[in-house]
Structure 1
Amino acid sequence: MMTARGSPRLNLLKEVAERHRVSPPTGSVEKRRRGSPKEDRAQWNASLEKDLVDLLREHATPEHKGQNGWSSEAWNKIVMKFHQKNLYARCEKKKIQEKEKELKRDYRMIKEIRKQSGVSWDDQQCKILEDPPLWKNIIISHPKAGKFKTKGFPLLDALGELHDGQTAEGTYNFTSIESS
């Protein structure tokens, strides 16, 4: 079968051959534009976390926050202000909400660890100071606490202002699947 030079079929065959010959760079163009989950996870740093917590505290008013968290309108404002403050950080609303949940989870975990017998907290470094045997016990009770063995958590007080008194704790705390 012959195809004439410049024919649509020849051009199509050339395009297909070219696509197969040149391998695309790591990750598709669209993934690089959107940002893969690893990129979003890697771009969070202490400064961005602090900016997010500051914005959450700014919007922790009855008009923005109800029993179940921030309203959709409040989240839109938080995301907009976050992007205005950090022009280089491009996170979707969902990723920012996930980061808030992660920070809340870490706050609760550190709070529980500090209640354990023998655990000491360094206010200067915002860090748990423990011996290796006690860390083994902490890791057993809180498997995700390993990252705080060497890393501090300077947002503890700010997150305490946000979440203390807002979440059910103690004797009367139960989920809907537990009997009351």
Structure 2
Amino acid sequence: MERYFIDLMLDQVKRGNRAGHTFNKQAWADMLAVFNAQFGSQYDKDVLKSRYSALWKQFNDVKILLGQSGFSWDESRQMLVADDYVWDAYIKAHPEARSYSTKSFMNFNDLCLIYGYTTADGRYSRSSHDVDFDDDVHGVNLVEGFCGQVPSTTERLRTDWTPAMDQYFIELLLDQVGRGNKSGDTFNKQAWNDMLASFNAKFGPQHGKRVLRHRYKKLWKYYSDAKALLKQNGFSWDEMQQMVTANDDVWDAYIKANPHARAYRKKTLPNYSDLALIYESTYDNYSQELFLTVGEGKDSQNRPSGDRTRTYWTPPMDRYLVDLLLDQLLKGNKLGQTFITQAWTEMTASFNTTFRSKYERDVLKNRYKHLRKQFNEIKNLLKQDGFSWDESKEMLTAEDPVWDAYTKVNNFPLLIRKRVLFST
């Protein structure tokens, strides 16, 4: 609820609806309507305003502490840190600060953007238009540094996101999910380090971990909003257009009650099924086993007791899926990077019949995307000096020094070094 409320406030800041030390009347009305619709509540404006004041107090307390000697911000833990003797001395003089010594503030960066330009006496020191947000792929502006030291507009770090960057980042996230490095709502520290190294190797060294984490939260919002829409009567998913669709009267009625949903009326979400794998806390039709590759399949007889339903990919399953894909390709049913809806329907039915399974279409689609990623990795490697394809072994080959040099520079998955790829 707090995360959602903060997102609503960020949206209103972007729209220029912050006046003085608070938001204008229409902004509060819009936020209240959207919040109550999201959580099925019946709160009045005073509830949100009270939370707004509480968050402002927390923000100011942390900001004051960061201004004291010996205190600093731990980005990985999202909390204030200081030596014990520093905390002891400060708490002795300010007992109310004790809770901040063990409390994390997952949304502090966003609170900087909401409260950062408000002075202690409640006046607004800069125009809300100075804070530039862009919800679209093509521009995500992050304020670097902490409030009170917020750079000017021209000094802000700007990351111009492109569809290619989103696709690569999502593939990195999927890979880390497959490795079991997602804990709760986020990834462990090593996973973020690995993803950042890979991302910067591909798109340049100027990106920081905060940039990726901000995009991770933004993609989570897109997914959550789309998922909420699909639960409403009259809304459905258009596989061809990769977007949420509904009749005009359905959209009009919903947007009237939920103004924030307007953006999704024409917004495409080409990675929606991948985002489901990343952000869902449980997997009924998916699991980490989706990411098993050729030669790494598990015997279904060895499943742990009480384990959830999982997709155990084996070489015969991959081989059969590849044959289905080839058949649909020959029929002319491939459109762009994927296949038409009817093709997926036919392949899913045939696959389930052969393996006596009950998989949904998205299971096959995600395996297809994984195989495509694997193919692109091999294709890129074959363009490098020293790499070649061994037809008899059906695998990539190179001298050990070539492999060692490449994996050191490119953070490349070591498994590919010994992997047999019979269907490449």
What interval of TM-score do these two structures reach, taking the shorter chain for normalisation? Answer: 0.5 to 0.7
Q: In 2, Cα distance between the equivalents of 1:141 and 1:91?
A: 38
Q: In 1, Cα distance between the equivalents of 2:155 and 2:208?
A: 10
Aligned residue for 1:128, secondary structure, equals: strand
* Aligned amino acid, residue 146 of structure 1: R
Aligned residue for 1:60, secondary structure, equals: helix
Change (3 A) 1:154 1:142: farther
Equivalent position of 2:248 in the other structure = 132
* Aligned amino acid, residue 156 of structure 2: S
Equivalent position of 2:271 in the other structure = 155
Change (3 A) 1:51 1:141: farther
Q: In 1, Cα distance between the equivalents of 2:155 and 2:175?
A: 28
Shift of 1:144: 3.1
1:53 lines up with 2:170 in the alignment: yes
Aligned residue for 1:81, secondary structure, equals: helix
Equivalent position of 1:72 in the other structure = 189
Equivalent position of 2:199 in the other structure = 82
Q: Deviations over 1:31-70 (max 9, x none)?
A: 79x9625x32xx1122111111100010114652212420
Counterpart contact for 1:113–1:138, Cα < 8 Å: no
* Aligned amino acid, residue 36 of structure 1: R
Aligned residue for 1:124, secondary structure, equals: coil
Aligned residue for 2:177, secondary structure, equals: coil
Q: Identical aligned pairs, as a percentage?
A: 21
Counterpart contact for 2:184–2:281, Cα < 8 Å: no
Q: What runs of 5+ residues in structure 2 fail to find an aligned partner?
A: 1-150, 284-424
Aligned residue for 2:240, secondary structure, equals: coil
Shift of 1:155: 1.0
State TM-score, norm by structure 1: 0.63
Q: Deviations over 1:64-118 (max 9, x none)?
A: 221242011210111110111223x732210110110110111011011011101
Aligned residue for 2:237, secondary structure, equals: strand
Counterpart contact for 1:126–1:152, Cα < 8 Å: yes
Equivalent position of 2:239 in the other structure = 123
Q: What runs of 5+ residues in structure 1 fail to find an aligned partner?
A: 1-30, 168-180
Please identify runs of 4+ aligned residues in structure 1 that moved more than 4 A.
none
Equivalent position of 2:330 in the other structure = none
**Considering only aligned residues, what root-mean-square deviation do their CA atoms show, in Å?**
2.6
* Aligned amino acid, residue 73 of structure 1: Q
State TM-score, norm by structure 2: 0.29
Counterpart contact for 2:234–2:247, Cα < 8 Å: no
Q: In 2, Cα distance between the equivalents of 1:64 and 1:165?
A: 13
The farther-off stretch of 69-78 and 129-138 is 129-138
Q: In 1, Cα distance between the equivalents of 2:220 and 2:184?
A: 15
**How many residues of Structure 1 are paired with residues of Structure 2 in the alignment?**
132
**Matches for 1:165-180 after TM superposition, within 5 Å:** 165-166=281-282
Counterpart contact for 2:185–2:279, Cα < 8 Å: no
Equivalent position of 1:10 in the other structure = none
Q: In 2, Cα distance between the equivalents of 1:65 and 1:71?
A: 6
Aligned residue for 1:59, secondary structure, equals: helix
Q: In 1, Cα distance between the equivalents of 2:155 and 2:195?
A: 20
1:103 lines up with 2:219 in the alignment: yes
Change (3 A) 1:49 1:143: farther
* Aligned amino acid, residue 216 of structure 2: E
Counterpart contact for 1:79–1:93, Cα < 8 Å: yes
* Aligned amino acid, residue 48 of structure 1: M
Partner residue of 1:44 out of 148, 161, 180: 161
Equivalent position of 2:50 in the other structure = none
* Aligned amino acid, residue 247 of structure 2: D
Shift of 1:140: 4.4
Shift of 1:150: 1.7
* Aligned amino acid, residue 191 of structure 2: A
Change (3 A) 1:152 1:106: same
